[in-house]
Amino acid sequence: MTDKVKLLHHVEAINWNRIQDDKDVEVWNRLVNNFWLPEKVPLSNDVQSWGTLTPAEQQLTMRVFTGLTLLDTVQGTVGAVSLIPDALTPHEEAVYTNIAFMESVHAKSYSSIFSTLCSTKEIDEAFRWSTENVNLQKKAQIIMDYYYGEDPLKKKVASTLLESFLFYSGFYLPMYWSSRAKLTNTADLIRLIIRDEAVHGYYIGYKYQKGLEQVSEEKRQELKDYTFELLYELYENEVQYTHDLYDAVGLAEDVKKFLHYNANKALMNLGYEAMFPSSVTDVNPAILSALSPNADENHDFFSGSGSSYVIGKAVNTEDEDWDF
Amino acid sequence: MTAVQMADGAVGHGRGAAPGSSTDAQLIYFSSASENTHRFVEKLGLEAARIPLHTNDETIYARRPFVLVLPTYGGESGRNSIPPQVIKFLNQERNRSLLRGVIGAGNTNFGTTYCLAADKIAAKCHVPALYRFELMGTSDDVDRVKKGLEDFWTRQSQTAQ
């Protein structure tokens, strides 16, 4: 299989003083500024909280995290690297190496969580589950097939859907625990991963759109149809995966709303309109608030009573952002 | 209209208002090369002026009261969250004095810094943060902002009398 992975045939010394696309520099800087390692997060403070979960809840959590580990491994070892030969600029190539490394940091960080909270036997069992779960393996395989394929833009679609959609059936759970004041340090670590994935999805989606500018209208339509078909195929599989994991704790329906919400964002990263209507994207406010404390409806001045006439409270006005 | 066509359109007229020009638009926005905010504003179908993409270009000048739409930049600490092009625009006292409200674009994945730039400008300029949306916004966002802006300007004109 690996014989099909392409490498660049021609490389020139990268000159960061001659930039073709400012977005490359912007995203590079952003990724570098966001750099983190799991050792910085005091995961051991979650040991007591872990003990308050039932055995079934602990098992669910470990399975979710091995599933996320698999996706990060795919993206770090194959996905981001497979995008390098198709890059439009040398700086884009460099950004993909950054993304690849960070995905490996993410994959390793789940092992930090495991070694802090669980026994070796439990860890081994969870990893065995991840190799045996049909729906988890299927989603990894669907994406892998595109990474080994020939079409540069289809690879970017698959990659963006992985970064911006496929992780979220897993990300839901630590946000859920966090909203109930459980495993809060683990949730802090996951939020760092969620932030990174947003930059990755944004950037790969942006490069997809740059690529679209260079192909015919017919090809664009084909890629759009392909995107929605792939999303639908992945979505069907995600729904089954979600039921596999969450039915026992009664959270599957809540997770599915989170999937719809993130599928819409994945499409937007690719430049397409949201597909799921708001009637099925009404994510549990507790989950949204665990994700971003600023995301609640109280910030909607237009629809509110005016009580939300927030003139930026709790904002550090000493910031050097502005001169005005 | 398909997104692909919009991507096309953005190539043609996505560069922003002519540097140094003045505008009567009551919606002024910044959008990077990603075009997310540009697409949202396009969907509103209102007259709007785009702040020049290149920081070195002269900024634009508002002639009437306006609402600003902008995305958030920057990382965890929230430093450098306001695009430099917007800082340059707001460094003009005339522009600042006509600012009536701010709408933020962002992504909740950025946690505490989601739409932070809009909050910061609202605080600094003592105007309300009116709304937030993610990426290029959904059709619900478009409906709410269209209606919201209409009501907002109606109230503004009543207050002014």
Asked if pLDDT for residue A314 goes beyond 70, the answer is no
Q: How far apart are CA B57 and CA B161, in angstroms?
A: 37
β-partners of residue B49 are B28
Strands B129-134 and B49-50 come out as unpaired
Shortest Cα–Cα distance, A273 to chain B (Å)? 6
Asked if pLDDT for residue B18 goes beyond 60, the answer is yes
pLDDT over 70, % of chain A: 90
3-state secondary structure of B130: strand
- Which residue of chain B is at minimal alpha-carbon distance from A22? B33
CB contact set of A317 (below 8 Å; sequence gap of 6+): B120, B123, B124
Q: Are A259 and A150 in contact (CB under 8 A)?
A: no
Q: From the CB of residue B1, how many other CB atoms can be counted at a distance below 10 Å?
A: 9
pLDDT over 90, % of chain A: 85
A20-293 homologous superfamily: Ribonucleotide Reductase, subunit A (1.10.620.20)
Shortest Cα–Cα distance, B152 to chain A (Å)? 8
Using CB atoms, pick whichever of B109, B128, B145 lies closest to residue A309: B128
Give strand ranges (E) for B20-142.
22-23, 27-29, 49-50, 61-62, 66-71, 99-106, 129-134
Asked if pLDDT for residue A4 goes beyond 50, the answer is yes
Give the helix ranges, DSSP H, for chain A: 22-33, 47-51, 55-74, 80-82, 90-117, 120-132, 134-147, 152-161, 168-179, 184-212, 217-246, 252-269, 285-291
Shortest Cα–Cα distance, A301 to chain B (Å)? 5
Stretch among A36-50, A284-298, A308-322 having the lowest mean pLDDT: A308-322
Asked if pLDDT for residue B12 goes beyond 60, the answer is no
Write down the domain spans for chain A. 20-293
Q: How confident is the model at residue A317 (pLDDT cuts 50, 70, 90)?
A: very low
CB contact set of A84 (below 8 Å; sequence gap of 6+): A7, A8, A93, A96, A97
pLDDT tens readout for residues A39-49: 999 999 999 99
Catalytic residues of A: 110
Mutate to test the interface with B, among A22, A270, A311 (most CBs of B within 10 A): A311
Using CB atoms, pick whichever of B2, B101, B111 lies closest to residue A292: B111
Domains in chain B (CATH in brackets) are 15-160 (3.40.50.360)
pLDDT tens readout for residues A61-101: 999 999 999 999 999 999 999 999 999 999 999 999 999 99
- B87, A322: Cβ pair inside 8 Å? yes
Q: How confident is the model at residue A149 (pLDDT cuts 50, 70, 90)?
A: confident
Mutate to test the interface with A, among B1, B2, B4 (most CBs of A within 10 A): B4
Q: Are A200 and A104 in contact (CB under 8 A)?
A: no
Of residues A159, A1, A197, the one with CA closest to residue A81: A159
Residue B1 or A29, more confident: A29
3-state secondary structure of A143: helix
Mean pLDDT of B23-44: 96
pTM for the full model? 0.91
pLDDT tens readout for residues A224-233: 999 999 999 9
- B87, A271: Cβ pair inside 8 Å? no
Q: How far apart are CA B17 and CA A291, in angstroms?
A: 36
- Most distant CA pair in chain B, distance: 45
In this structure, the dihedral spanned by the alpha carbons of residues A127, A286, A293 and A49, taken in order and rounded to 10 degrees, is -50
Mean pLDDT of B33-54: 96
pLDDT score, position A7: 75
Mean pLDDT of A152-156: 95
Q: How far apart are CA A171 and CA A190, in angstroms?
A: 7
Residues of B in contact with A22 (CB under 8 A): 33
Mean pLDDT of B89-115: 94
- Which residue of chain A is at minimal alpha-carbon distance from B80? A321
Q: Which two tokens stand for residue A246?
A: 């969450």
pLDDT tens readout for residues B47-57: 999 999 998 99
pLDDT tens readout for residues B66-77: 999 999 986 666
3-state secondary structure of A118: coil
